Amino acid sequence: MTKRRVAILISGRGSNMAALIQAANAPDFPAEIVLVMSNIAGAGGLESARAAGIETATIESKPFGRDREAFERAMQDELLKHKIDLVCLAGFLRLLTPWFVQQWDGRMINIHPALLPSYRGLHTHERALADGVKIHGATVHFVIPDVDAGPIIVQGAVTVHDNDTAETLGARVLQVEHRIYPQALRMVASGQASIHGGVCKSTTATASEKTLISPSF
Ligand code: GRF
């Protein structure tokens, strides 16, 4: 099996990155993490990536100011240098231009802390609580030029408790993120997930019949 070469792009603590690195340690995992790249110098995740023996790169976005494409061209050079096949965004806090997204069309995935298409954008847990939804979760999706949109690969749901705060709810969702991101990468890297008519279908996964009802008595 030739493993797909993966770069993870981060801006912060990198807990999803760590989950991907750990999953990719399994011999049968169809992808290897060869590069972790950050747009923020000193992002916490860089340290843990290095501790895991993964090569890191920092390309600060700030000096590029509004010239997003120049920043992305610098990232692109680094990605090409490492012969990257797939890009995983994991808490990467930069909007991407259509140019960059096009370079990685069908080969770049992102994790978002909400059940898309609900709660695109920021502060997803606060907004879910304000709406009083009873089920919330996380989504891994292919990246398209629109932010927090694109064919959905995997979703994971959690119940919302009456006494939840954004922190407690966010922590519950994060646990799910750490499960679904490795699963989604496995599906994409092995070719089990593919896009048909703008929608992602899985060739092998069998849908579970489990139902989540919230609240339940
Ligand atoms: C996660 O909640 C992810 O869904 C969002 O940014 C956060 C990153 O957290 N895109 P971490 O750096 O992976 O811990």
Identify the segments of the chain with pLDDT beneath 50. Answer: none
Fold of 1-104: Rossmann fold (3.40.50)
**45-62 confidence digits (pLDDT tens):** 999 999 999 999 999 999
The answer to whether 1-104 and 112-204 have equal CATH topology is yes
pTM of the predicted model over 0.95? yes
Whether 112 is catalytic is yes
pLDDT at 204: 79
Residue 76 pLDDT: 98
Rounded to 5 degrees, φ, ψ at 141 are -140, 155
CATH class of domain segment(s) 112-204: alpha beta
- Please tell me the predicted confidence (pLDDT) of residue 187: 98
What confidence score (pLDDT) does residue 202 get?
93
Query: What pLDDT score was predicted for residue 207?
Result: 67
Domain ranges of the chain: 1-104, 112-204
What pLDDT sits at residue 208? 75
Which among 112, 125, 136, 141 is annotated as catalytic?
112
Going by alpha carbons, the residue nearest to atom 5 of ligand 1 is: 91
